[in-house]
Structure 1
Amino acid sequence: MDLPDELLHEVLRRVPPRRLAACRRVCRNWRDAIDGRGLVLEHLAPGPLRGIFVDFFDNFFDNRRHGFFSRAATPPIDGSLGFLPNTSRAWREWNRHCNISDHCNGLILFRNGRATYVCNPWTRRWAKLPWPAAGFPHGRGHLVFDPTLSLHYRVMCFPGVPKRPSPPVYPPPAKKPRGRYSLVTWTSTYVENLPLSLRESYEQEVESMGSMEWPPYSYAVQMFSSATGQWEDRHFVRQGDAVTTVSGMWSNPLADGVHGCHTAVCWQGAFYIIRSGGFIMRFSLLEDKYVTIKTPTLAQKLASHTNDYGYRIRPCLYLGKSKQGLYLTAHEGYELRIWIMHGVSESCHMPEWELKHQVDFKPSFSRFYTSNNTRKEVESWILDISEEGLNDRGDQGWDSEDDSIIDAEGGIGNNLQGETKKCYGVHLLGYHPCKEIIFLGNRYNGFAYYLGSSKLQYLGKLYPAGDTLLIMMSYITSFIYTPCKDDLLPAQNDR
């Protein structure tokens, strides 16, 4: 017997949110009845922007650190993730491999030595992942979590491009080499001087491997599911043509030269990730299918360059989501080019790219640091690495009329040319999830850049207070944090 709509609404409204989320998975009619009344989406959807988790690498001590860059918030967010096991400051100083690997809709993937955790800073719940039988592949895992569809999460590890085979060692060594520096350096001259039979066999092996499609038709991904609590190999079938071949990837400058500072996004039920070679893969987790999406031609014409101090800066492709959907940013030095993706769906594999914005920040930062010599900026954000989180420091929100706003358009006078030496490069920290605002880092200062008005605003210091070896520290990764107030993680330490 069907219940009247009013009575059904009252019954569903009294069901706890977590139980209601479970009811959505019973059948399509139940899901439509719950979603049509908006009873669970508002609670499970990620909340507003609360801050940015930033990972640093200390080149002097060869270890990693992380902190939470934000305004004062109540309740505070534990930027050190001190509720996890073995995350005290003393432990982090001893263990050099504590770092945030990924964030997705309120959940964080955290590596602590050989242990990997999925945690929710809002609820302070966490779960330790089992070690996969085959071991973790090279590179970090990616977290997939969409609370509007399910409170279960996945961790995906993607295989890289097969490496070019090494030539045979000739003549064979009398003893097996030992030590990390006993490797032979292969050159074209070495291969040419091999005996004919060995050279032909090696060239056939290279040709056979290099002729394979990339990415392959059946793409094997190592995946952990919280629903089963196990790792498994999931095979995704490609829809459409391959992008290139393995040999094409070996010769592609983007395969090694592009550093994806943020390469993955979970959006509208699909998972998008930038792969080596400068293309995007879109995975449908429900159908075990994937498609490849070509990035704009201009984004692929990136090249490494040297900054003012002679250090090599690698180009970067950043994939994020904001007000209008998916944003692709090509970041090279101080220059940013931003595209918006339109028209991608299960039936349309070739989206349109709209060039939204392009800017060169070098004049803007030069002007900022010159003017900063005569006035003190108001810090509305602060980087927190303590276990207590930020205290409430009152209302220190953004003010579009304050003096820290800088016009990012226009040039600068010749008398400011020397000030560009103070700019160590710009780091893209992330996009505001609901507004067209980009968060940037420069000289360990945080900034907000408004796409609509081309205004640059100073936020605060972007390094741990008291550190003196700032020149030795560099950014590794950063993650925009939007809290999720519910999950299916074990109740280790509920709020």
Structure 2
Amino acid sequence: MVGMDLAPQDVVAEVLRRIAPRSLAACRCVCKAWRAVVDANRLLRADLLPLTLDGIFYETCPYNEPMLFSSPATGRRVTGKLDYLDWPLDDVFPIMDCCSGLLLMCYHVVNPATRQWVRLPPLPPSCTAAGCTRCSSQNRYLVYDPALSPHYEVFLIPNIPFTLPTGHICMHICRDDESVSAMEWPPSPYIVHVFSSKTGCWKERSLLREGEAAGTVAEVKAVYDTVSFFLYAAYWKDALYVRCEEEFLLRINLLHDTYRVIKFPDGNKGYTVPRIGKSEKGMEWALRNVIDLQRVVEIYPANHVDGPNWVVQSEDQMDLVLKNDINLQPADDKDKAMTEGDFDWDSDNEYVVSTNDWDNKGGYRDYFYCLGFHPYKEVVFFHGAFRTVAYNFDSCKVLYLGEMRYGYEELQESFSYASCWVRNLPGSN
């Protein structure tokens, strides 16, 4: 403490600059001198952290470059065009996950706000058995909280390959054996690979199960091979929640390397598509057809053009963002008003409709795809028939956001996005 007090202010500022925001806030309270250094150098800037929802990143099938659906305020500063990565421009890879402003691609971790990126080292083999090609089905998830640390982790979570018999990934049993189908899933220990930006390499991590398994391999295996495209995850309070197969999720305790199986409510296996995510009060999930949004189609016709500000970023807008320098200044009053107005649930807002008197009767129903959850409100986003809406759990109101068009291709993956303007991504280019 004495040494820091005697050090020049620029040295103290450089030391404090390397501390995560939550710890920096505690350091600011140590003494008046440190508080003066933090304030004078604007080291503690909450506006740089991902504390507000800025839009929704989505992709279509066949995979195209990520698209951003947001207010114009966000579209002027952030883009999903990732031409600056070290891959051939004719190769497009999907978004695997999104966490606190970072995107996890197949081979990269990217911050689209600051345009910093890291290429991950080659993936470790999912099975050490010689010649094994069956134990290769793994999903990738990102864990990151810039308020706690600049470092992030990437998890490879094994799931059951579509074609049985399959290998038991924990025990590396890869032969054609009927006993494989009778093995419990997930196993204990559950062996996963984790990349840490602290070490810069992949390492095995052994997770011990608390409670019962979800069932046998044969019982919990996905009905359809395409289910692997919808296995989303969410990070909340030192735990990673991962949807596995079709009927359950894992709560992985990152502090104690344990996990617990949580089963979804009963549904039609192979037809329901549960979507999990983090909202204001914690973990949430939504099941297809639980919320009837058919009236949205009736209230907001397809040619509706007036109203809310959320739009899909055009190619020209993407190029313009990349031509401009990264702006770390706080949003001006106009942009703030536009962003806050996107979620005005006032009853006088003509784009807010109460669903309390809606019934479930009627004939044909358009399918509304769950785009994700608002990380800081009790709100979930849905899209169907080109209409995109936000549904408020507390008030049972629907807010029309705009039209998210993407031609004749199929909407494949989507992620709620909160911009992170902290420029300290470890190992970034």
Alignment TM class, shorter chain as reference: 0.7 to 0.9
Q: Counterparts of 2:354 and 2:116 in 1: how far apart (Å)? A: 43
Q: Would you say 1:287 and 2:262 are equivalent positions?
A: no
| Match among 257, 266, 269 for residue 300 of structure 1 | 266
Q: Indicate yes or no: 2:292 matched with 1:360.
A: yes
Percentage of identical aligned residues: 30
State the Cα deviation string for residues 380-402 of structure 1 (Å, max 9, x = none).
10111523349999654335433
CA deviation vs aligned residue, 1:344-403 (integer Å, no higher than 9, x gap): xxxxxxxxxxxxxxx3112x1242245x66x64314101115233499996543354333
1:118 and 2:109 equivalent? yes
Which whole-Å CA distance do the structure 1 matches of 2:143 and 2:411 have between them?
Answer: 23
**Secondary structure in structure 1 of the residue aligned to 2:66:** strand
Aligned CA-pair RMSD: 3.9
Cα distance, 1:462–1:328 mapped onto 2, change above 3 Å: same
Query: What is the SS of the residue equivalent to 2:235?
Result: strand
Superposed displacement of residue 410, structure 1: 3.0
Q: Given the alignment of the two structures, is residue 109 of structure 1 paired with residue 104 of structure 2, yes or no?
A: yes
| Alpha-carbon distance between aligned partners in 1 of 2:145 and 2:208, rounded to the nearest angstrom | 22
Could you say if the C-alpha distance between residues 35 and 221 of structure 1 is closer, same or farther in structure 2, counting changes exceeding 3 Å?
farther
In structure 2, the CA distance between the partners of 1:15 and 1:42, relative to structure 1 (3 Å rule), is: farther
Question: Which amino acid in the other structure matches residue 83 of structure 2?
Answer: G
Query: Once structures 1 and 2 are overlaid, which stretch shifts more, 479-488 or 211-220?
Result: 479-488
Matched, 1:461 2:403: yes
Q: CA deviation at 1:134?
A: 1.9
Report if the CA contact (8 A) 2:247-2:269 is conserved.
no
Give the deviation of 1:458 after TM superposition: 1.8
Rounded Cα–Cα distance in structure 1 between residues aligned with 2:124 and 2:395: 52
- Structure 1's 21 and 12: CA in aligned 2 closer, same or farther, altered over 3 A? farther
| Corresponding position of 1:152 | 151
Match of 1:276 among 245, 248, 266: 245
Instruction: Tell me the SS of whatever aligns to 2:19.
Output: helix
Corresponding residue of 1:484 = 420
SS where residue 98 of structure 1 aligns? coil
Corresponding residue for residue 80 of structure 1: 81
CA distance in 2, matches of 1:491, 1:366: 44
SS, match of residue 73 in structure 1 = helix
Residue type at the aligned position of 2:382 = L
Shift of 1:142: 1.0
Deviation by residue 1:392-448 (Cα, 9 ceiling, x = unmatched): 99654335433332332334799xx68x57x3x101111112222221111223212
TM-score by length of 2: 0.75
**Aligned ranges 1:33-182 → 2 under 5 Å:** 34=27, 42=46, 45-57=49-61, 62-73=62-73, 76-86=77-87, 91=89, 94-95=90-91, 97-111=92-106, 116-134=107-125, 137-161=136-160, 163-165=163-165
Question: Contact 2:137/2:160 (CA < 8 Å) preserved in 1?
Answer: no
1:260 deviation in Å?
Answer: 6.9
| In structure 1, distance between residues paired with 2:58 and 2:70 | 11
> Normalised by the size of structure 1, how large is the TM-score?
0.66
* Residue in 2 that maps onto 1:381: 310
Q: Distance in 1 between matches of 2:215 and 2:2?
A: 55
**What's the CA shift for 1:12?**
11
1:407 counterpart letter in structure 2? S
Cα distance in structure 2, aligned partners of 1:278 and 1:109? 25
User: Which residues in structure 2 correspond to 1:282-361 (within 5 Å)?
Assistant: 282-295=251-264, 299-303=265-269, 314-330=271-287, 332=288, 335-336=289-290, 359-361=291-293
List alignment gaps of at least 5 residues for structure 2: 39-43, 127-134, 167-174, 325-331
Q: Which residue of 2 aligns with 1:439?
A: 381
**Contact 2:369–2:384 (8 Å) recurs in 1:** yes
SS in 2 for 1:409: coil
**Would the aligned equivalents of 1:12 and 1:34 in 2 still touch at CA under 8 Å?**
no
2:18 alignment partner, SS class: helix
1:405 aligns with 2:334: no
Deviation for aligned residue 1:104: 0.8
CA contact (8 A) 2:214 2:220 kept: no
Q: Whole-Å Cα distance in 2 between the matches of residues 380 and 360 of structure 1? A: 24
Q: What is the distance in 2 between the residues matched to 1:246 and 1:123?
A: 43
Q: Which of the numbers 210, 214, 221 marks the counterpart of 1:243?
A: 214
1:224 CA drift (Å): 1.5
Distance 1:213 1:458, change over 3 A: same
Cα separation, 1, equivalents of 2:251 and 2:200: 24
Q: 2 CA distance for matches of 1:231 and 1:160?
A: 18
User: Which of 163, 171, 182 does residue 211 from structure 1 map onto?
Assistant: 182
Distance in 2 (CA, whole Å) between partners of 1:382 and 1:32 is 36
Paired residue for 1:467?
none
> 1:7 Cα deviation (Å)?
11
| Deviating more after overlay: 225-234 vs 385-394 | 385-394
Q: Partners in 2 of 1:456 and 1:13 — Cα distance?
A: 50
Find the aligned partners of 1:228 and 1:478 in 2 and give their Cα distance.
30
> In the aligned structure 2, how far is the partner of 1:444 from the partner of 1:389?
25
Q: Which moved more, 1:380-389 or 1:97-106?
A: 380-389
Report whether the alignment pairs 1:267 with 2:271. Answer: no
CA offset digits 1:159-206 (Å, max 9, x no partner): 11265329xxxxxxxxxxxxxxxxxxxxxxxxxxxxxxxxxxxx9931
Q: Residue 439 and residue 165 in structure 1: after superposition, are their counterparts in 2 closer, same or farther (change >3 A)?
A: closer
Give me the whole-angstrom Cα distance separating, in 2, the residues matched to 1:321 and 1:69.
19
Number of residue equivalences: 380
AA aligned to 1:402 is N
Mind listing any 5+ residue stretches in structure 1 that lack a counterpart? 25-30, 167-202, 305-313, 337-358, 465-469
The AA in structure 2 aligned to 1:101 is M
Contact 1:262 1:478 in 2 (8 A): no
Larger radius of gyration: 1
Residues 260 and 317 in structure 1, CA contact (< 8 A), matched pair in contact too: no
